[in-house]
Amino acid sequence: MTTSALLRPVRAKVFVPLLFGVLSLFVTMANHARAQQAPENQLKAALIYNFMLFTEWPVAGLASNEVLTLCALKSGPVSDALIQLQKKTVGNHELRFKLLAEQDSLQSCKVLYLDDDEHQRPAQIRKKLEGLSVLTISDRERAIDEGAMIAIAVDNNRFVFEVNASSARQAGFTISSKLLRLARKVW
């Protein structure tokens, strides 16, 4: 047997893991590039979906196998992205999206997305939410001060979020400690 014949299996043993390592690096880089190219509104919708995945609803607020309705008060780029979440599941609940008209009740909503512009009428929105178990999420940084349970913001070109855990608990929600550890601030 020649020396080159003896080295062939050794090269294969080294080459195959090296090849997989390089391929994983390229896949990671491609995913990172795709994430950077994704529009901001789609990234916000993905965050909102993940917030729902890591939230436990009060038993009285969401019956087993009940449809989980995600509502928005106005049409816009983020609500357009939220529509794409329809038919996904959160636990054993199918997700539906509903764009509300001004006079609509929030009774059927389990999650309410508040657009950045909604800060002009927080008192009206809080009044409509009284007595309801509705998870409120906003992309306005100071929305926590206005009663939202989760507020999304951009800091140094990264999405960050704050959680008002006490407000969520008062409404009967349990937010996963995993999500709370990722929050920039927990109230």
pLDDT at 11 (0 to 100): 46
144 and 93 in a single domain? The answer is yes
Q: Which domain holds residue 169?
A: 40-186
32 and 51 in a single domain? The answer is no
104 and 12 in a single domain? The answer is no
Using the CB atoms, write b or e for 121-145: b if 16+ within 10 Å: ebeebeebbeebbbbbbbbbbebbe
DSSP secondary structure code for residue 173 in this structure: -
pLDDT at 118 (0 to 100): 67
Whether 129 shows a pLDDT value over 80: the answer reads yes
Convert the pLDDT of each residue in 146-172 to its tens digit.
Answer: 889 999 999 999 999 999 999 999 999
Whether 24 shows a pLDDT value over 50: the answer reads no
Rounded to whole angstroms, the Cα distance separating 126 from 128 reads 5
pLDDT at 7 (0 to 100): 44
DSSP secondary structure code for residue 38 in this structure: S
The CATH code of the domain that includes 122 is 3.40.50.2300
20 and 87 in a single domain? The answer is no
* Closest-CA residue to 182 (of 162, 168, 167, 164): 162
Q: If pLDDT is split at 50, 70 and 90, which confidence band does 22 have?
A: very low
Token readout for 104 is 């609509």
6 and 73 in a single domain? The answer is no
* Closest-CA residue to 126 (of 82, 77, 167): 167
Q: Structural domain tally of the chain?
A: 2
16 and 96 in a single domain? The answer is no
99 and 160 in a single domain? The answer is yes
Q: What is the mean pLDDT of the chain?
A: 81
Lowest mean pLDDT among 52-56, 79-83, 87-91, 141-145: 141-145
Whether 28 shows a pLDDT value over 70: the answer reads no
